[in-house]
Amino acid sequence: MQKCVLPEDAFVTVSGWVVVQMAFALLNLCFAPYFQYRVWEKICEESNSEELLQDPEVTVVSVTKEKVQESFKQVFLHDFGVCFYFLALGASFLWSGEGYRWVTAHPESCNPGGGLSFSANVGYAFAIVAVLYTIAWYCCGICARATEIRSGYQEVEQAEQEEQEETKGSP
């Protein structure tokens, strides 16, 4: 790869392309839990679960699938982090395309074994899957399902600890 010479229109070295490609991959990995957290936060807010679970008589708050999907839509349309991510996803798609074109221009020196073109194709595929996933969740009610928010997670943790202590003590 040290002998790799990208086409004249390439404004980075092959190492520079790989570093940016890895940064996009890291962003993709970080976005999934961020988005999940924001949607869950919105579900809890919309269902008023925190207030309802203050009542000792209430142990479970049921959330309809419509509310789950509506929370997804609200976060998707109004969260700055999601907006930033989808702009970055578009940039990642274009970056993968340019990288693929650059490294396949001289495959013998720039793409030995096909690793770099594979990286570019994964970047393409990830962007396409992310867009299709978003469309499915946004448009298809079948993708969402009802859920429950339960109180008493501390009691569950305490019961698990007691169970672990009992199993340690038994032969």
Q: What is the pLDDT of residues 55-73, one digit of tens each?
A: 777 777 778 888 888 888 8
Closest by alpha carbon to 32, among 104, 102, 85, 79?
Answer: 85
Residues 6+ apart with CB under 8 A from 61: 47, 48, 49, 52, 53, 148, 149, 150
pLDDT in tens, 120-163: 999 999 999 999 988 888 887 777 777 777 776 655 566 667 67
**Closest by Cα among 8, 22, 5 to 103:** 5
| Closest to 52 in 3D by CA, of 149, 125, 119 | 149
Percentage of the chain exceeding pLDDT 90: 33
Report the alpha-carbon distance of residue 48 to residue 39 in Å, rounded: 14
- Please indicate whether residue 99 or residue 3 has the higher confidence score (pLDDT): 99
Asked if residues 137 and 144 have their Cβ atoms less than 8 Å apart, the reply is: yes
